[in-house]
């Protein structure tokens, strides 16, 4: 029986090869190329910070992992504060040079306007910047001449440390100033103990944050060491920093270049130097705070005055290369002062504190009843979803559709070429 002969149109054969090549290229691009949603700058990182790199945020045995704080439908500070990436006035270019911070903000401390920002409500870890919130609680609750006796737990905190000693007594004033100069985690723990213990100190700090309108902030440790649920944002830290700079006691402390500190009675005091180098080499610098943890990376707060304008800069999740974070802060401050001279349209405002709200403890979103204004939506991303990045499911659907189209096209061409 003679075999059936087939003739394939050369044009159809060429088309099949071309279509196959196009499909393979598209599939490779979709499956192997990281999406923009996976980058830390993306909005997927708005509800929660990026995943931790160590076990510092693992809850204690028997304690649940804190759920993300709700993301308000209306962002504090104006509509543009909900934007991701650079948030700049119309017609204004980005600051020149490499700014490594994943989130930053420039604000006028006097009128509360936000001049420019990047990911203003993107949630990151604050590291030692949270000590500014602790300082607010201390100024609210403790007198400068109050005496604190250091405990073994206070003295054994993970450093950076001032070097307080178990059983020694210190005035709140000396602890307060050294907290802001040296960023002592031991001092932060001692002041937390003086506020009634760690839990009560954190409750007070979070209560103050709520009263300031800092909806992205949850303190998990008094020192800024990473802990379960620790979160803040560039916008929130600008609110906290502005409130602190309204207190002369805080301004004096962060503007202090050095101080003597007696760790032990009958021992010679040591000299503690301010670790914020801009205090020494940036004209008009008023003071600020530095921070670092493995999970938070480098964080920074600073304020300066020039030409009758006081500006604050906040930087979160920054790196020391290719230039030091303090040098990046200088560039941002210079950029902010140029914008202020140009009288550009602000991109947002720092909300004013709500005195009544600050008197109420902040409720845990995992236990409170749902409220219409700030309840988290059912489809609000969890931490796992947020770190994966949106668009993963959509990308898979596109891949499947392309495969289906390619198979159908090849089947049709195959049938047409048989005869």
Tens digit of pLDDT for each residue in 132-168?
999 999 999 999 999 999 999 999 999 999 999 999 9
Domain membership flag for residue 328: yes
In a shared domain, residues 356 and 404: no
Element (H or E) spanning 117, and its range? strand 113-118
Domain shared by 383 and 398, yes or no: no
Query: How many CA atoms does the CB half-sphere of 416 hold within 13 Å?
Result: 13
Helix axes 131-141, 172-182, angle to 10 degrees: 170
279 pLDDT above the threshold of 90: yes
Who wins on pLDDT, 20 or 389?
20
Which stretch of 240-249, 299-308, 329-338, 406-415 has the lowest confidence by average pLDDT?
Answer: 406-415
In a domain, 47, yes or no: no
Q: Is residue 61 part of a domain?
A: no
For residues 178 and 296, membership in a common domain is answered with: yes
With a cut of 80, say whether residue 416 has pLDDT above it.
no
User: 408 by DSSP, 3-state: which?
Assistant: helix
Average pLDDT over residues 275-303: 96
Q: Which helix (H) or strand (E) holds 404?
A: helix 392-417
Identify the pLDDT of residue 404: 53
pLDDT > 90 in the chain, percent: 70
**pLDDT higher at 393 or 231:** 231
Q: In terms of domains, do 20 and 112 share one?
A: no
Same domain, 101 and 159: yes
Specify whether 128 is located in the same domain as 150. yes
- Rounded to whole angstroms, how far apart are CA atoms 85 and 295? 21
Do 319 and 398 reside in the same domain of the chain? Answer: no
Considering the domain architecture, whether residues 85 and 132 belong to the same structural domain is answered as: yes
* pLDDT tens-digit readout, 212-222: 999 999 999 99
Q: What is the pLDDT of residues 233-261, one digit of tens each?
A: 999 999 999 999 999 999 999 999 999 99
Residue 396 within any structural domain of the chain: yes
One domain, residues 199 and 335: yes
Say how many domains are in the chain. Answer: 2
Q: What 3-state class would DSSP assign to 225? A: coil
The mean of the pLDDT values for the chain is 82
Q: Is residue 228 part of a domain?
A: yes
**pLDDT digit string (tens) for 33-67?**
333 333 444 565 578 999 999 999 999 899 988 99
pTM: predicted TM-score of the whole model, two decimal places? 0.76
Is the peptide bond between 322 and the residue preceding it cis, with omega within 30 degrees of 0? Answer: yes
- Write down the pLDDT at residue 17: 56
Element (H, E) at 187: helix 185-194
Any idea what the CATH number is for the domain that residue 328 is in?
3.40.710.10
pLDDT tens, residue by residue, 185-226: 999 999 999 999 999 999 999 999 999 999 999 999 999 999
The average pLDDT across 308-331 equals 97
- 30 and 116 inside one domain: no
Q: Determine, yes or no, domain membership for 87.
A: yes
Domain that residue 397 falls in:
10-35+391-417
Is residue 238 a part of any domain in this protein? yes
Question: Which residues are known to be catalytic?
Answer: 128, 131, 183
4 in any annotated domain? no
Domain check: are 102 and 200 in the same one?
yes
Higher pLDDT, 380 or 244: 244
86-133 pLDDT, tens digit each: 999 999 999 999 999 999 999 999 999 999 999 999 999 999 999 999
Same domain, 146 and 164: yes
């Amino acid at each position: 029986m003679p075999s059936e002969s087939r003739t394939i149109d050369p044009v159809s054969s060429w088309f099949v090869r071309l279509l196959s090549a196009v499909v393979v290229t598209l599939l490779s691009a979709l499956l192997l190329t990281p999406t923009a949603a996976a980058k830390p700058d993306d909005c997927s990182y708005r509800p929660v910070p990026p995943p931790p790199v160590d076990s510092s945020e693992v809850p204690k045995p028997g304690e649940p992992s804190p759920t993300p704080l709700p993301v308000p439908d209306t962002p504090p500070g104006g509509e543009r504060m909900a934007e991701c990436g650079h948030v700049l006035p119309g017609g204004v270019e980005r600051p020149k040079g490499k700014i490594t911070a994943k989130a930053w903000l420039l604000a006028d401390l006097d009128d509360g306007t936000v001049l420019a920002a990047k990911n203003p409500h993107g949630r990151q870890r604050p590291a030692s910047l949270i000590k500014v919130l602790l300082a607010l609680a201390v100024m609210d609750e403790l007198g400068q001449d109050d005496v604190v006796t250091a405990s073994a737990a206070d003295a054994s905190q993970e450093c950076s440390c001032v070097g307080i000693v178990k059983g020694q007594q210190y005035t709140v004033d000396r602890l307060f100033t050294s907290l802001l100069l040296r960023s002592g985690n031991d001092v932060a723990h001692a002041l937390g103990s003086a506020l009634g213990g760690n839990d009560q100190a954190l409750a007070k700090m979070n209560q103050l944050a709520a009263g300031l309108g800092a909806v992205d902030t949850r303190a998990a440790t008094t020192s800024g060491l990473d802990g379960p649920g620790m979160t803040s944002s560039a916008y929130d830290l600008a609110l906290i920093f502005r409130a602190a700079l309204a207190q002369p006691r805080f301004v004096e402390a962060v503007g202090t270049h050095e101080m003597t500190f007696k760790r032990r009675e009958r021992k010679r005091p040591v000299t503690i130097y301010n670790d914020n180098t801009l205090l020494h080499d940036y004209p008009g610098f008023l003071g600020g705070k530095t921070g670092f943890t493995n999970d938070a990376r480098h964080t920074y707060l600073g304020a300066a005055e020039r030409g009758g304008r006081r500006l604050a800069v906040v930087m979160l999740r920054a790196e020391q290369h290719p230039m030091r974070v303090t040098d990046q802060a200088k560039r941002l401050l210079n950029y902010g002062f140029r914008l202020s001279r140009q009288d550009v349209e602000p991109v947002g405002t720092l909300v004013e504190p709500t005195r009544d709200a600050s008197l109420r403890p902040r409720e845990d979103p995992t236990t409170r009843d749902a409220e219409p204004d700030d309840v988290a939506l059912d489809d609000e991303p969890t931490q796992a979803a947020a770190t994966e990045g949106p668009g993963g499911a959509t990308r898979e659907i596109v891949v499947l559709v392309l495969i289906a189209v390619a198979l159908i096209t090849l089947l049709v061409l195959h049938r047409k070429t048989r005869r």
